Structure 1
Amino acid sequence: MAPKDPTRLNLTAAIASLSVALVLVAVKLWALWATGALSVAASAADSALDLLVSVGAMAAILYAARPADEDHAFGHTSVEDLAALGQALFIAAAAVGIAVGAVSRLAAGRAEALAAELPGMAAMAVSAALTLGLVIWQGRVARATGSRVVAADRLHYLGDLLPTLGALAALFASARWGLWQVDSVVALVAAAVMLRGAAGIGRGAWDALMDRGADPETLAGIGRIADGWPGVRGWHDLKTRTAGSRLFVHLHIELDGEQTLEEAHAIGAGLRRAIIAAYPQADVIIHKDVAGR
Structure 2
Amino acid sequence: MTLQKKATIISSGTATLLIVIKLFVGVMSGSVAVLASAIDSVLDLIVSAFNYFAITKAEQPANKKFNYGKGKIEALAGVIEGTVITVSGLFIFYTAIKKAINQETVEFLGYSIIVMVISLAITIALVLFLNYAAKKTRSMVVKSDALHYKTDVLSNSAILVSLVLIQMTGFEMIDSIMGVIISIYIIHSAYQIIRDGVYILLDASLDEEMVEKMRDIILEEKEISDFHYLKTRKSGNTNFVDVHLVFSPGISLMRAHHAGDRIEEKIKDLIPDEVWVINAHLDPYDDSEINDQQYVANEEG
TM-score in terms of structure 1 length: 0.88
Q: Pick the aligned partner of 1:13 from 1, 7, 16.
A: 7
Q: CA deviation at 1:161?
A: 0.7
How far apart, in 2, do the equivalents of 1:229 and 1:136 lie? 41
Q: CA deviation at 1:92?
A: 1.9
Paired residue type of 1:264: A
* SS of equivalent to 1:75: coil
Aligned 8 A contact 1:173 1:180 in 2:
no
Residue 45 (structure 1) aligned with residue 39 (structure 2): yes
The residue that corresponds to 1:253 in the other structure is 245
* SS of equivalent to 2:179: helix
Residue 190 (structure 1) aligned with residue 182 (structure 2): yes
Q: Pick the aligned partner of 1:97 from 79, 91, 95.
A: 91
Q: How many residues align?
A: 285
* SS of equivalent to 1:283: strand
Aligned 8 A contact 1:166 1:186 in 2:
yes
The residue that corresponds to 2:294 in the other structure is none
TM-score in terms of structure 2 length: 0.86
Per-residue CA deviations over 1:192-230 (Å, capped at 9, x if unaligned) read 112112222222222322223333233223222222245
- Structure 1's unaligned 5+ residue stretches are 1-6
Q: Pick the aligned partner of 1:157 from 149, 159, 164.
A: 149
Q: Pick the aligned partner of 2:120 from 120, 128, 132.
A: 128
The residue that corresponds to 2:137 in the other structure is 145
- Structure 2's unaligned 5+ residue stretches are 288-301
* SS of equivalent to 2:86: helix
- Cα distance 1:205–1:292, how it changes in 2: closer, same or farther (>3 A)? closer
Q: CA deviation at 1:245?
A: 4.3
Superposition RMSD in Å: 2.1
The residue that corresponds to 1:212 in the other structure is 204
The residue that corresponds to 1:173 in the other structure is 165
- Cα distance 1:48–1:284, how it changes in 2: closer, same or farther (>3 A)? farther
Identity %: 28
Q: Pick the aligned partner of 2:63 from 54, 60, 69.
A: 69
How far apart, in 1, do the equivalents of 2:107 and 2:245 lie? 68
How far apart, in 2, do the equivalents of 1:246 and 1:61 lie? 14
Q: Pick the aligned partner of 1:30 from 21, 24, 31.
A: 24
Q: CA deviation at 1:292?
A: 4.9
